[in-house]
Structure 1
Amino acid sequence: MSNPAMQPRLEGVILEELVELTLADVCRACTTHAESIIELVDEGIITPLGDAPQRWVFTGVHLRRARVVLRLQSDLGVNRAGAALAVQLLEEIDALRTRLRALEDR
């Protein structure tokens, strides 16, 4: 099966974008208090749907982002702004790698 046309094609759905989480779900997954997540929302680091914390709806992408920021803060002592910048740069790197793989597959 060295011929690329003969190899099976893998397809999938990105669940991170389809999952709906509440503030309580995100707090549990991040093992933190609601105040920490609310601060991330206030800073614009994560942007849930909904007009109040009780009605916020988060996705898996928000959860991943919150976990990385909180981990950078607790493990490395990075301030919130620095952690937000690091997450943004990591996401850009992931997007560029995805584009590069797509170009290599052509």
Structure 2
Amino acid sequence: MSERDDTTLTGSIFDETTEVTVVELCRICSVDMSLVEEMVLEGVLEPTGGTREDLRFPYHSVRRARTVIHLQRDLGLNLAGAALALELLDRIEYLRSQLRRS
């Protein structure tokens, strides 16, 4: 007789208007607040407001932070190099969207 798995999965739906707190961003990305602060200083992340402990970020910041983390881990880039690579990736995405429109 097979055993039944009663595991329940839960999730949330996010859109471009969803914001996350700095604590949520740290938890989702598995990083310390100090790295998030460095990303803000480097211009990688732009908080929408709040004080140090209750900064809020647009949800797309999760993707940006994860991309920087992967660039640092996989390619050995420092934060400034990862920020530059992210800027170039953003530019490529913008140019591709312009090509699709024309």
TM-score range relative to shorter protein: 0.7 to 0.9
Aligned to 2:44: 45
Cα deviation digits, residues 27-84 of structure 1 (max 9, x gap):
1111111111111112222110224222311012222111111111112110111100
Equivalent in the alignment of 1:89: 88
Amino acid paired to 1:48: P
**Secondary structure of 1:21's match?**
strand
User: Where do 4+ consecutive residues of structure 1 move more than 6 Å?
Assistant: none
Partners in 2 of 1:54 and 1:64 — Cα distance?
Answer: 21
Opposite residue 58 of structure 1, the aligned amino acid is F
User: What's 2:24 paired with?
Assistant: 25
Alignment of 1:1-106 (within 5 A): 15=15, 17-103=16-102
**Residue type of the alignment partner of 1:41:** V
- State the match for 1:7 in structure 2: none
Superposed CA RMSD in Å reads 1.5
Higher strand share: 2
Identity of aligned residues (%): 42
Partner Cα distance (1:66, 1:96) in 2: 22
| Contact 2:43 2:83 survives alignment (8 Å) | no
Residues 83-92 or 69-78, more deviating: 69-78
Tell me how far 1:22 sits from its aligned partner: 0.3
Give distance in 1, aligned partners of 2:42 and 2:90: 18
CA distance in 2, matches of 1:44, 1:25: 19
| Greater helix share, structure number | 1
| Contiguous gaps of at least 5 residues in structure 2 | 1-13
Letter in 2 for 1:71: H
**CA pair 22-51 structure 1, distance change in 2 beyond 3 A:** closer
